[in-house]
């Protein structure tokens, strides 16, 4: 049965991930779910915390298994409440976010947001979020609603009565919720300090809920306020939602709570920190600044006290603006957001998730080397298919004859190694229909969705002519040293992980097109001028020069590094091990591809055909991308 992991990078992610886990368990009780978190580090000195405290881990372990590493669980899919681009071996990725605003790194229009392309699915609170993400992100995006709002609306909504009873607040009292963020440049705390207690008139109670990443010294200061004032309550709970349900007014700053509270159509007071524009991610067009016309804005305690009085006298003021933002930023508001997110996850698990509509078909020109065999070519094409599930691959092979034992159905045409670049491009124009064309050497290991990521550069740079990945021949270590000087020398495989998780969407002008992996668009083939007689110059470099003559930019993608794959060595021991795993039904798709290639390499194409027949008839859906490679196996069996 499918295995779904919920990765909790910080405790503030819990109110978003736990409800989805509960819904998946309700909808698919036969699925296996688990939680995982990094080792706990408390927030201090302005740095955010990490992981979960021991007590929280124990509480979660009652609901589902808690694992210390992703690899321990081997998930088919992992759900994150943040980008978490440095977590790997996690199956397909789902990002659900943990707020409604941008803070310069989430729902905004900048290069940093391009990291979200690592997700196989993104669930967002409202249509506004989808619209802004689609400028940089091309993964499927589903508007499912704001998950925490399920505790404000619907049958399981929190009640004011329960909150007042828990915190010993008279039911008739006015409740003022103070929920500032933690960033020094954005937070209301430096503006108000301990004077926030002045809002506590005889009939008013102040409820303080600090961000979980607030510095521990400030946390202690506000706890002391609550300990010494009879009408101040300090909330230790991670989730602010029960306090929101009870509050009459919200005081906040540049926190997601500022927008979340608008869904209740109650007065919101926004504190503007004078250092706001010093924040690294400050962008006045982002959500958290655009919505401030639905708030009373203040900058000090005097303005705050006046705004509180005004809000209590005229709570209906700015109601139309609040409701407008609630409609565009908080879809549904019906108590079913977590259910919609869970259904989107299940659809992805079960193979029905939407793919990249603009890159659902790829033309691939494969340059076979002198040592390649039908088995090694099949192995490479199988790896290519597994790395790009849901993508139709239209393959042209240059440098190899078709094999009767392995006809490779995905190959449209075979060209001799003597065919020049003009002949290759003409064949591509005649035998493929895909817009994006790739020139690819054999023997390369391609990370999951690499070619789709490469195609994104054409959307970020509409005039782009040619883009290539980094290869091991490039000085990738220099780039590692620039980004992570503390790492020292790293393997190319490690560098590839670092680049894709840190540099998504980054590129520089291409000075030379080394062989390896490059991409161009089929629509440009008719206008390219290839100069004959450039003997000894790699095809990719000939293409770069042709685009340069047309004044079209060519780029080197810094986010993508292709490395040499593990060689396909005809090793009997490996063959026996893989055969045993196949017999025990424990073979994953990568191992299945290797087993089939080894069988063909040993001259056992008929046996490979029988193995594939059993694989294709099994319930293991992950084998299906291999059909275009191995379904044509034939030949004499060898005992």
pLDDT, tens only, 338-388: 999 999 999 999 875 555 656 789 999 999 999 999 999 999 999 999 999
Question: What is the percentage of the chain residues whose pLDDT exceeds 70?
Answer: 97
How much is the average pLDDT of 96-113?
90
CATH fold of the domain at 357-564: Spore Coat Polysaccharide Biosynthesis Protein SpsA; Chain A (3.90.550)
Residue whose pair of structure tokens reads 């139309």 in the numeric block: 320
Q: Is the pLDDT assigned to residue 141 strictly greater than 90?
A: yes
Q: How far apart are CA 357 and CA 175, in angstroms?
A: 49
CATH fold of the domain at 3-150+337-349: Rossmann fold (3.40.50)
User: Which phi and psi angles does 289 have, rounded to 5°?
Assistant: -100, -30
- Per DSSP, the chain holds a count of helices (H) and strands (E) of 23, 22
Residue whose pair of structure tokens reads 């706890």 in the numeric block: 223
How much is the average pLDDT of 423-437?
94
Q: Is the pLDDT assigned to residue 6 strictly greater than 90?
A: yes
How much is the average pLDDT of 203-217?
94
Per DSSP bridges, beta strands 232-234 and 65-67 are: unpaired
- Output the pLDDT for position 535: 66
Q: Can you list the alpha helix ranges (DSSP code H) found in 247-355?
A: 256-260, 287-290, 301-313, 319-329, 337-349
Domain 154-318 CATH superfamily: CDP-glycerol glycerophosphotransferase, C-terminal domain (3.40.50.12580)
- Output the pLDDT for position 384: 96
Q: pLDDT grade, residue 4 (50/70/90)?
A: very high
- Output the pLDDT for position 173: 98
Alpha-carbon distance values, 303 to 271, 279, 421, 422 (Å): 9, 23, 71, 72
pLDDT, tens only, 463-521: 999 999 999 999 999 999 999 999 999 999 999 999 998 999 999 999 999 889 999 99
Q: How far apart are CA 598 and CA 591, in angstroms?
A: 10
The SS3 of residue 234 is strand
Q: Can you list the alpha helix ranges (DSSP code H) found in 551-622?
A: 572-583, 589-601, 605-616
Q: Select from 495, 548, 501, 479 the least CA-distant residue to 520.
A: 548
Q: How far apart are CA 462 and CA 553, in angstroms?
A: 10
Task: Provide the angle, in degrees to the nearest 10, between the axes of the packed helices 14-27 and 54-63.
Answer: 10
Q: Is the pLDDT assigned to residue 623 strictly greater than 90?
A: no
Residue whose pair of structure tokens reads 């790829």 in the numeric block: 362
Q: Is the pLDDT assigned to residue 154 strictly greater than 90?
A: no
Equal CATH topology for 3-150+337-349 and 154-318: yes
Q: Is the pLDDT assigned to residue 414 strictly greater than 50?
A: yes
Q: How far apart are CA 500 and CA 487, in angstroms?
A: 16
User: Which phi and psi angles does 617 have, rounded to 5°?
Assistant: -90, -5
Show contacts of 156-162: CB within 8 Å, 24+ apart. Answer: 156/335, 157/245, 157/335, 158/241, 158/242, 158/245, 158/246, 159/245, 159/246, 160/245, 160/246, 162/242
- Output the pLDDT for position 636: 44
pLDDT, tens only, 66-77: 999 999 999 999
How much is the average pLDDT of 185-207?
96
User: Which phi and psi angles does 44 have, rounded to 5°?
Assistant: -165, 155
What is the DSSP code (8-state) at residue 41? B
- Output the pLDDT for position 46: 64
Q: How far is the first Cα of the chain from the last one, in angstroms, to the nearest whole number? A: 35
Please, which residues bridge with residue 51 across strands? 10
How much is the average pLDDT of 522-541?
83
pLDDT, tens only, 255-296: 999 999 999 999 999 999 999 999 998 999 999 999 999 999
**Element holding 221 (H helix, E strand):** helix 216-228
pLDDT, tens only, 439-469: 999 999 888 899 999 999 999 999 999 999 9
102 CB-side CA count, 13 A: 25
How much is the average pLDDT of 10-21?
94
Q: Is the pLDDT assigned to residue 304 strictly greater than 90?
A: yes
Q: Select from 38, 51, 36 the least CA-distant residue to 3.
A: 36
**Element holding 27 (H helix, E strand):** helix 14-27
Q: Select from 414, 556, 550 the least CA-distant residue to 474.
A: 556
Q: Select from 189, 237, 183, 241 the least CA-distant residue to 213.
A: 183
- Output the pLDDT for position 396: 98
Q: Can you list the alpha helix ranges (DSSP code H) found in 399-466?
A: 421-431, 450-460
- Output the pLDDT for position 639: 40
The SS3 of residue 343 is helix
- Output the pLDDT for position 638: 40
- Output the pLDDT for position 352: 59
Q: pLDDT grade, residue 562 (50/70/90)?
A: very high
Question: In this structure, what token pair is assigned to residue 417?
Answer: 């190694």
- Output the pLDDT for position 76: 92
How much is the average pLDDT of 387-400?
93
Within 8 A by CB and 6+ apart from 238, the residues are: 11, 12, 14, 15, 212
* CB 361 within 8 Å of CB 329: no
- Tell me which of 91-95, 159-163, 564-568 is least confident: 564-568
Q: Is the pLDDT assigned to residue 412 strictly greater than 90?
A: yes
Sequence spans of domains, the chain: 3-150+337-349, 154-318, 357-564, 572-630
Q: How far apart are CA 222 and CA 448, in angstroms?
A: 47
């Amino acid at each position: 049965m499918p295995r779904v992991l919920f990765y909790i990078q910080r405790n503030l992610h819990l109110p978003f991930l736990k409800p989805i886990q509960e819904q998946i368990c309700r909808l698919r009780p036969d699925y296996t779910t688990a939680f995982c978190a990094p080792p706990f580090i408390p927030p201090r000195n302005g740095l955010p915390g990490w992981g979960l405290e021991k007590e929280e881990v124990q509480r979660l372990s009652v609901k589902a298994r808690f694992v210390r590493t992703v690899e321990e669980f081997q998930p088919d899919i992992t759900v994150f409440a943040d980008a978490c681009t440095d977590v790997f071996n996690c199956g397909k990725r789902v990002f659900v976010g943990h707020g409604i605003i941008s803070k310069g790194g989430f729902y905004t229009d900048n290069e940093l947001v391009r990291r979200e392309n690592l997700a196989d699915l993104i669930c967002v609170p409202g249509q506004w979020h989808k619209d802004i993400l689609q400028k940089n992100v091309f993964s499927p995006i589903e508007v499912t609603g704001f998950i925490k709002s399920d505790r404000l609306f619907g049958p399981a909504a929190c009640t004011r009565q329960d909150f007042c009873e828990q915190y010993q607040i008279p039911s008739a009292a006015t409740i003022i919720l103070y929920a500032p963020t933690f960033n020094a440049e954005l937070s209301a705390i430096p503006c108000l300090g301990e004077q926030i207690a002045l809002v506590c008139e005889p009939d008013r109670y102040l409820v303080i809920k600090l961000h979980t990443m607030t510095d521990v010294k400030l946390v202690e200061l506000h706890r002391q306020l609550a300990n010494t004032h009879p009408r101040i309550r300090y909330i230790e709970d991670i989730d602010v939602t029960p306090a929101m349900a009870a509050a009459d007014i919200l005081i906040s700053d540049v926190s997601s709570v500022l927008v979340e509270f608008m869904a209740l159509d109650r007065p919101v007071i926004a504190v503007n920190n004078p250092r706001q524009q010093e924040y690294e991610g400050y962008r006045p067009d982002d959500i958290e600044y655009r919505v401030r016309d639905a708030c009373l804005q203040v900058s000090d305690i005097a303005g705050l006290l006046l705004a509180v009085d005004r809000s209590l006298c005229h709570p209906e003021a700015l109601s139309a603006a609040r409701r407008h933002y609630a409609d565009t930023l908080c879809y549904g508001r019906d108590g079913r957001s977590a259910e919609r997110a869970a259904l989107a996850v299940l659809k992805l698990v079960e193979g029905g998730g939407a793919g990249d509509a603009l890159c659902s078909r790829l033309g691939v020109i494969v340059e076979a080397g002198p040592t390649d065999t039908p088995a090694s070519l099949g192995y490479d094409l199988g790896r290519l298919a597994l790395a790009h599930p849901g993508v139709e691959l239209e393959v042209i092979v240059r440098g190899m004859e078709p094999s009767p034992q392995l006809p490779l159905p995905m190959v449209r045409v075979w060209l001799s190694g003597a065919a020049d670049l003009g002949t290759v491009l003409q064949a591509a124009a005649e035998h493929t229909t895909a817009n994006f064309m790739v020139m690819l050497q054999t023997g390369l290991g391609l990370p999951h969705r690499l070619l789709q990521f490469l195609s994104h550069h054409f959307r970020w740079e509409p005039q782009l002519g040619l883009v290539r990945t980094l290869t091991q021949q490039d000085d990738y270590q220099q780039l590692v040293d620039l980004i992570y000087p503390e790492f020292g020398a790293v393997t190319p495989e490690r560098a590839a992980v670092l680049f894709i998780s840190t540099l998504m969407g980054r590129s520089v002008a291409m000075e030379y097109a080394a062989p390896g992996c490059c991409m161009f668009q089929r629509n440009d083939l008719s206008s390219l001028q290839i100069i004959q007689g450039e003997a000894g110059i790699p095809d990719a470099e000939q293409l770069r020069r042709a685009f340069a003559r047309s004044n079209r930019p060519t780029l080197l993608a810094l986010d993508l590094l292709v490395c040499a794959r593990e060689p396909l060595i005809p090793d009997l021991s490996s063959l026996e091990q893989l055969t045993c795993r196949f017999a025990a039904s424990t073979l994953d798709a990568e191992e299945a591809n290797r087993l089939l290639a080894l069988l063909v390499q040993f001259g056992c194409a008929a046996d490979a055909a029988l193995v594939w027949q059993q694989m294709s008839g099994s319930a293991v859906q992950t084998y299906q991308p291999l059909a275009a490679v191995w379904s044509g196996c034939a030949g004499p069996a060898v005992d």
